[in-house]
Structure formats: C-alpha cells, structure tokens
Amino acid sequence: MLLRLNYYQRSLLRKLRFVAWGLRHGHPTTWGYAPEIEGHRVDVARRDAIERAHARDADEIATPSHSLGDTLEAEWGLDRARIACVPYPYAPTPALLGIPSGSDTRIVTFIGRLEARKGVLDLAVAIPHVLREHPDVVFRFVGATDDALVPGQTMREHLEQRLRYYRSAIEFTGPLAPAAIPQALATTAVCVLPSLWENFPCVCLEAMAAGRAIVASASGGMREMLADGQAGHLIPPNNPRRLARSIQSLLADAGRRRELGAAARERLLAEYAPDRIVSLQIASYTRAVERRRALGPRIRGV
C-alpha cells in the first residue's frame, strides 16, 4: 500500500532525472519502500508475510475504517466475518465546538503534511481553475513539508515554484501547534483534504468539529466520516478538475457551507463520541473471547 501511495508519480522521465541526480551527488537510487531499523534494511516481503500470518490467525481484527478492512480482505485473504470496524474515539475541544458553523471568509485551507499522497499536487493543479472564478480567494497550506518528487527540492519549494504566478493567493504557515488549529479553522471557508487514500485522518474530525464545509477524498475512511457525502463534498483522488469544481461550488454558496458544516459537526458528535466507541470496543473483545472459547486454547508453536 505504501508503495502504491508514495511512488505512483514516478514516470519514466522522472525516474531518469532521479537517477541522473543520484549519480551526480553520489546517492544510490531505489524505487521500492525500503525502511531501516537501527541502520539495518528491513525485509518488507518477510515482514508483510509475518503480519499477514498473525492477522489470519486472529480471533478478531479491529480496523478504524471499513476501507482498510476491505483492503485487508482483498489483499490478505482475511475472513470478512472477523473484521470489525471500530473507529477511534474523538472528544473535540471546546475551542473547536465554539466555532460557528460555516464561514464567510475567502480562505481555503489544506491541513496536513505537504507530500504527494496527501493530494497537494492535485490541489496545485486545481488552484488556478478556482482563482479564475474566485480571484479573491486565498489558499492556505498548514503543515510541515516533505521531499518533493523533484530531487533536491522540498514539496513546499516545488509548490511555490509551480504556483509562482499566484503567489499573492498562496499562504504557507508551516506546522502549527494543536492549540493554533482552531483559529486556523475558524478563519476557513472550505477545508480541503484531497488525499490519494486515508485510513482515519484526525484532521477531518477536527474540521467536522469546527463546523467547516469539507472537500475530501472519496478514497478511504473519509467517505465514512462524511456519510457518503451527506456531511461534506467527496471527490475522487487524482481528479483536479472535480476538486476545483467542488471548491468553486462551495465558495459560491454560503448557505451550503453552513449546512454542510452543521451536518459534519452533528455527525461527529453522534458517531465518534468516546462512550459509543467504548461500547464498540467491548463488543469486539467479547466476540474475540467467544470465538476463542469455541475453538479451544491455542497450542504454542502451532
């Protein structure tokens, strides 16, 4: 999954440029996901096989999103009957809940790490289309930067260069402390989360708690968070035109922004309250215990 998300952009031309840069600077070139622990390269295939074996042996598998459960079922051949969706609990702060639903500002905010899998490249393509229809809008990027797909360049540098003709409409805050997030959301008209795929992004829950109108990726857990589009706009990943149209439509309709913001907050408080999630967790553990009792004790080494 990491491989698909992080390396989807590598066209042949980009690979050749990356190889040339590596040769020039004496850096080895690798294409796969190759993490290291204490200086030793991890055998990803072996680790994946070990994790898969333990998952297939589990009495109950809890996943925060149905999307991740679907992926595990398809790729690891897991029994769907043993996969339970147990979201993480979320208790919003009074600072978030105190923000009025909807906003009449002209700020579109992205919150997240600046990296390809968070959809910032799609957003960069969408921005000029939005500005042609709404030239008074400012796009705010909140988050730390990662490396860009261009060797030797950070993603922030790449975005600044790519959007240089629109610099007056672009703002980069860098990472913000958690206490500063409510203020950033309070001055936001539309919160944009166009990730290629997400499991259970807490930033979406924060935007929901703040009563913001949200444009989010339909790929992954945010589809569930936003109730299949009832509490926010959902767009397919890798589709900048659809992303631009969705942002444009919300910027043009303050009433719709307030409606979606109120629906998002109401859904958050109903679905992700700690008391509700605790009951789901207890039910999950109870099923695991009952299955193990029916099967009998595990035999060590088998």
Residues 106 and 208 in one domain: yes
How many domains in the chain? 3
Got the DSSP string for 127-195? HHHHHHH-TT-EEEEES-B-B-SSTT-BHHHHHHHHTGGGGGGEEEEE---GGGHHHHHHT-SEEEE--
Residues 131 and 237 in one domain: yes
The answer to whether the beta carbons of residues 176 and 184 sit under 8 Å apart is yes
For 120, 160, 222, the CA distances from 17, given in Å and listed in that order, are 21, 20, 35
Q: pLDDT digit string (tens) for 272-283?
A: 999 999 999 999
Residues 20 and 80 in one domain: no
Q: What's the pLDDT score for residue 58?
A: 93
User: Whole-model pTM?
Assistant: 0.85
The answer to whether the beta carbons of residues 237 and 197 sit under 8 Å apart is yes
Got the DSSP string for 10-54? --HHHHHHHHHHHHHHT-----S---EETTEE--HHHHHHHHHHH
The CATH number given to whatever domain includes residue 137 is 3.40.50.2000
Residues 231 and 134 in one domain: yes
Residues 81 and 173 in one domain: no
Query: What are 8's two structure tokens?
Result: 């989807």
- Report CA 73 to chain centroid distance, whole Å: 21
Does residue 298 have a pLDDT over 90? no
Residues 105 and 209 in one domain: yes
Does residue 294 have a pLDDT over 90? yes
Residues 151 and 52 in one domain: no
Q: What's the pLDDT score for residue 152?
A: 80
Q: What's the pLDDT score for residue 34?
A: 54
Residues 115 and 264 in one domain: yes
Does residue 248 have a pLDDT over 60? yes
Residues 111 and 155 in one domain: yes
Residues 156 and 224 in one domain: yes
Cα(229)–Cα(214) distance, integer angstroms: 10
Residues 113 and 262 in one domain: yes
Residues in a beta bridge with 147 = 154
Does residue 19 have a pLDDT over 70? no
Q: What's the pLDDT score for residue 76?
A: 87
Q: pLDDT digit string (tens) for 191-211?
A: 999 999 999 999 999 999 999
Mean pLDDT (the chain, rounded): 89
Q: pLDDT digit string (tens) for 102-145?
A: 889 999 999 999 998 999 999 999 999 999 999 999 999 999 99
Q: What's the pLDDT score for residue 2?
A: 61
Task: Using pLDDT thresholds of 50, 70 and 90, give the confidence band for residue 13.
Answer: low
Choose among 4, 49, 7: nearest CA to 30.
Answer: 7
Cα(89)–Cα(137) distance, integer angstroms: 34
**Domain region containing 198:** 96-271
Buried b (16+ CB within 10 A) or exposed e, 147-173: ebbbbeeebbebbeebbeeeeebbeee
Phi/psi for 142 (5° steps) reads -115, 120
The answer to whether the beta carbons of residues 95 and 280 sit under 8 Å apart is no
Instruction: Report the pLDDT averaged over residues 20-41.
Output: 57
Cα(196)–Cα(216) distance, integer angstroms: 10
Residues 15 and 101 in one domain: no
